[in-house]
Amino acid sequence: GAVVSQHPSWVICKSGTSVKIECRSLDFQATTMFWYRQFPKQSLMLMATSNEGSKATYEQGVEKDKFLINHASLTLSTLTVTSAHPEDSSFYICSARLPSSSYNEQFFGPGTRLTVL
């Protein structure tokens, strides 16, 4: 149980285009999902908290108009990188909070590697 998937696993795009990444909780409903960014050999940095049916909460320094998050259902959150530039190239990872857990365990997706040319 507690499986989280991401799609696509990797994507290459041209500078200036937009890219959408999907995060799905496969065997549980997740009211809260999280989006992280990880640069090579670095730790995970939380970008935003995605709440089903409401606006996402962004961390300081993360541009909400550039990284659009939609959490329209209890099993799907999407992250759209708008007008992507080479500096947006990174490994994007989502996680979903297990609602039945009293300590709110998070389970992570396999990540999406974005390369912007």
Cross-strand pairs, 108: 95
Place of tokens 């300081």: 60
* Sequence-distant (≥ 6) Cβ neighbours of residue 102 within 8 angstroms: none
Does position 46 bind another protein by CB under 8 A?
A: yes
Does position 20 bind another protein by CB under 8 A?
A: no
Q: Which is nearer to another protein, 90 or 95 (CB)?
A: 95
Count of residues interacting with another protein (CB under 8 A): 25
Place of tokens 């939609």: 70
Give, as ranges, the residues between 90 and 109 that touch another protein (CB under 8 A). 93, 95, 97, 103-109
Torsions phi, psi of 115, nearest 5? -120, 120
CB of 26 to another protein, least distance (A): 14
Tell me the residue ranges of DSSP E strands in the chain.
Answer: 4-7, 10-13, 19-25, 32-38, 45-51, 57-58, 67-73, 76-81, 90-97, 106-108, 112-116
Does position 28 bind another protein by CB under 8 A?
A: no
Does position 25 bind another protein by CB under 8 A?
A: no
Q: Which is nearer to another protein, 4 or 114 (CB)?
A: 4
CB of 22 to another protein, least distance (A): 14
Contact positions vs another protein (CB under 8 A):
4, 6, 32, 34, 41-46, 49, 57, 93, 95, 97, 103-111, 113
